[in-house]
């Protein structure tokens, strides 16, 4: 997708979060209090409560029902087909700075992401801007530690793992020490996501909307310390959701790397929540390649800027998911390096 095309698309932000995290309060703030942004808020019908008493009328039983607020924002309840709802908004989308999809109870945003990116009726109008997880500082650890029955997923764990940004809400209800402990726990699951502290869901909207953090090139700006394996002191745990960063120098063999990724996604797609990569391939000159994935859905292509003359070719990979073994992943990836014949 060209930069010009991306600029004409309406950014769509997916907001997840556990019951009681403050999503309802955040949506009310967007719809009724702030006056800077014009936003279309799509609320799924399985929300903890209606956005506000009387705000979304009980009579809203078709996707076409859209309520316009005094500040120019709109609220729409999704009761079934998200495609149909977004389609109804498409004709008016230029009126809005952004679209927010509030997804109470959704552990895995992959179906929404896949639909937006692959359905031409959607990809011609919208682009995924970011995935935000709203976390309650007082109770998120309790949710993360909850043991689920065999075969069931821990929704809170997955929501943190999938996110680009984490809104740590209700920070006024915990001590400074407790807050740092919570942040450390969140980083142990997803080192890649930026943590933004909030009280009473008063989020700095400029930090979560139109930020283009769900972007193949976002890996270029990852904190270098993320790839320091000496900092990875977590013991290998098959049920642990964690993030692993790997980097090494050299040029990859395109065919070997493609085979590695095909095998990895075939065998481990369900365990891989997010993947990102910055790649240098043998035989591709100065072209720098990037990719990102959600489960088995991978977007891959050239970066907007090539490798600079004299720039060290360092490949970088981010994996967020379950049962990740850094040593095995590193070994398999390094076996994809191009080797000169006879060496």
Tokens 């004299």 belong to which residue?
310
Mutual angle of helices 82-90 and 110-118, in 10-degree steps: 50
3-state DSSP call for residue 195? strand
* Exposure b/e, 131-154, CB count within 10 A at least 16 = b: bbbbbbbbbbbebbeeeeeeeeeb
pLDDT at 46 over 60: no
Q: What is the pLDDT of residues 127-168, one digit of tens each?
A: 999 999 999 999 999 888 888 777 677 888 888 998 999 999
What CA–CA distance (Å, rounded) separates 281 from 338?
8
Q: Which residue has the higher pLDDT, 343 or 202?
A: 202
Q: Which residue has the higher pLDDT, 240 or 187?
A: 187
3-state DSSP call for residue 243? strand
Half-sphere exposure of 75 (CA within 13 A, CB side): 23
What CA–CA distance (Å, rounded) separates 226 from 246?
8
Q: What is the pLDDT of residues 295-335, one digit of tens each?
A: 888 889 999 999 999 999 999 999 999 888 999 999 999 99
| Closest-CA residue to 132 (of 155, 110, 100, 154) | 100
Strand partners, 132: 15, 165
3-state DSSP call for residue 216? helix
Q: Which helix (H) or strand (E) holds 292?
A: strand 289-294
């Amino acid at each position: 997708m060209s930069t010009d095309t991306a600029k004409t698309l309406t950014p769509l932000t997916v907001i997840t979060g556990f019951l009681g995290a403050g999503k309802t309060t955040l949506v009310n703030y967007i719809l009724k209090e702030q006056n800077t942004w014009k936003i279309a808020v799509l609320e799924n019908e399985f929300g903890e409560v209606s956005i506000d008493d009387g705000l979304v009328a009980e009579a809203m039983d078709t996707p076409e029902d859209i309520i316009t607020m005094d500040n120019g924002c709109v609220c729409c309840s999704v009761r079934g087909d998200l495609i149909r709802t977004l389609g109804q908004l498409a004709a008016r989308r230029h009126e809005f700075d952004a679209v927010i999809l509030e997804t109470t109870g959704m552990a895995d945003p992959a179906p929404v992401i896949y639909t937006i990116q692959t359905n031409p009726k959607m990809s011609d109008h919208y682009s995924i801007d970011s995935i935000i997880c709203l976390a309650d500082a007082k109770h998120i650890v309790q949710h993360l530690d909850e043991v689920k029955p065999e075969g069931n997923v821990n929704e809170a764990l997955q929501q943190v793992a999938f996110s680009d940004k984490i809104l740590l809400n209700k920070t006024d209800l915990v001590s400074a020490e407790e807050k740092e402990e919570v942040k450390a726990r969140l980083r142990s699951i997803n080192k890649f996501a930026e943590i933004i502290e909030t009280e009473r869901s008063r989020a700095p909207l400029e930090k979560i909307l139109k930020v283009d953090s769900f972007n193949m090139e976002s890996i270029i700006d990852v904190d270098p310390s993320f790839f320091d394996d000496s900092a990875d002191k977590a013991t290998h745990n098959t049920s642990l959701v964690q993030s692993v960063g790997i980097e090494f120098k050299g040029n990859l063999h395109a065919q070997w790397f493609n085979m590695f990724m095909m095998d990895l996604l075939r065998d481990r797609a369900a365990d891989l929540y997010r993947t990102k990569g910055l790649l240098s391939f043998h035989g591709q000159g100065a072209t720098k390649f990037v990719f990102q994935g959600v489960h088995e859905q991978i977007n891959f292509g050239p970066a907007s800027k090539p490798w600079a003359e004299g720039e060290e070719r360092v490949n970088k990979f981010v994996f967020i998911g379950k049962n990740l073994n850094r040593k095995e992943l590193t070994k398999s990836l390094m076996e994809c390096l191009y080797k000169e014949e006879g060496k």
